[in-house]
Amino acid sequence: MTYQEEEQSRLRRQASKEAITLALQGQWKEAIAINLTLIEKFPSDVEALNRLGRAYMELGEYKEAEGAYRKTLAIDQYNAIAQKNLQRLTYLKKTKTSADTKTHKLEPQQFIEEIGKAGVVQLSNLAKPSVLAHMVAGDVVNLKENANNLDIVTAKGEYLGRVEPRHGQRLVRLIRGGNKYSAAIVSSTDKAVTVIIRETHQDPGQAGQLSFPTRGIEAARPDISDRVIRRELEQEDALNGDPGYTIVGGEEPEALAESPNEDDFDDDSGDE
């Protein structure tokens, strides 16, 4: 590789990193500008096209978003991210609601915590695809008790899904004992929604009780920081773990599993 090629590659990586940072901060118009510049210089950059589509979608500019994703498919006809988001757009356009640019986003660093204090859980009994289509990585959500179950709802109280009982019931018990938690979307399709939940306050009477026990779990100690959200912006990845949740915390970063689906947002999925 020549010096000029190396320099172009460096500038491309730097611009991509800046575009992702802007997206993390919810500065979608600025992200659009950078991605458009990238695409002008590198017309076949499908990652920039996908980021562009995402930014347009966040601003409710669905026609422009669709155009960006279709350009991705013209370059890579099997691109799972573009396929999934084109399907997501069909739901968003049906609901005829504009994107809420004031949606609360998580600050990635708030989920860096000692092991056992935070975890990534997968939801069951999902809401309708038209509801889930509005949720993207970083959206802050709330926990809501429902008898002995733990539901996840939007900031407006709209039902999204349920934490699996074996984990939800434990968290409900801890909440009733005085613990407090915050939560945010990690990834969302109509078939799989993952949420990161963090203990923000532990009642003194429950000292020593971990919200996400590590017993029987083989030492996955990922550094969540902003990586999960960054990788979602890039790859729309789904997270899975043997215990039903991914333990968050610890000192050694470790890559998390990813398995993007090409058939996300099918019409025949179940409702709430």
Same domain, 65 and 193: no
Q: What share of the chain is helix, strand, coil (3-state, %, to 5)?
A: 40, 20, 40
d(CA 272, CA 70): 31
Q: Please report which helix (H) or strand (E) contains residue 178, including its range.
A: none
Average pLDDT over residues 242-248: 45
Considering the chain, what is the average pLDDT of its residues?
A: 75
Residue found by looking up tokens 């020593």 in the block: 208
Give, to the nearest 10 degrees, the angle between helix 46-58 and helix 80-95.
20
pLDDT at residue number 105: 58
Q: Which domain holds residue 76?
A: 3-95
The CATH number linked to 119 is 3.30.70.2330
**pLDDT tens per residue across span 85-113:** 888 888 777 765 544 444 555 554 444 44
pLDDT band at 214 (very low <50, low <70, confident <90, very high): low
Q: Nearest 10 degrees: CA dihedral of 133, 136, 139, 145?
A: 50
Q: Is residue 158 included in any domain, yes or no?
A: yes
Q: Return the pLDDT at 216.
A: 34
| Same-domain pairing of 119 and 227 | yes
Query: Which of the given ranges, 216-220, 250-254, 259-263, has the highest pLDDT on average?
Result: 259-263
42 & 79 share domain: yes
Same domain, 113 and 221: yes
123-135, pLDDT tens digit by residue?
Answer: 999 998 888 888 8
Are residues 152 and 233 both part of a single domain? yes
3-state secondary structure of 152: strand
Angle, helices 46-58/28-41, rounded to nearest 10 degrees: 150
Residue 184 and residue 241 in one domain: yes
Of 73, 95, 117, the residue that ends a domain is 95
Six token digits for residue 238: 């789904």
Task: Give pLDDT tens digits for 23-54.
Answer: 877 788 999 999 999 999 999 999 999 999 98
Residue 143 has pLDDT above 90, yes or no: yes
Would residue 267 count as lying in a domain? no
Q: Are residues 15 and 125 in the same domain?
A: no
Residue pair 146/165 in contact (Cβ under 8 Å)? The answer is no
Confidence bin at 10 (pLDDT 50/70/90): confident
Whether residues 142 and 62 fall in one domain: no
Does the CA dihedral 198-239-31-141 come out positive or negative? Answer: negative
Q: Is residue 227 part of a domain?
A: yes
Q: Please check whether residues 146 and 243 belong to one and the same domain.
A: yes
Structure tokens of 43? 């017309």
> Domain check: are 88 and 116 in the same one?
no
Count the domains in the chain: 2
Contact 238, 98 (CB under 8 A): no
Same domain, 7 and 61: yes
Residue 249 contacts residue 112 (beta carbons within 8 Å)? yes
Same domain, 140 and 244: yes
CATH number at residue 28: 1.25.40.10
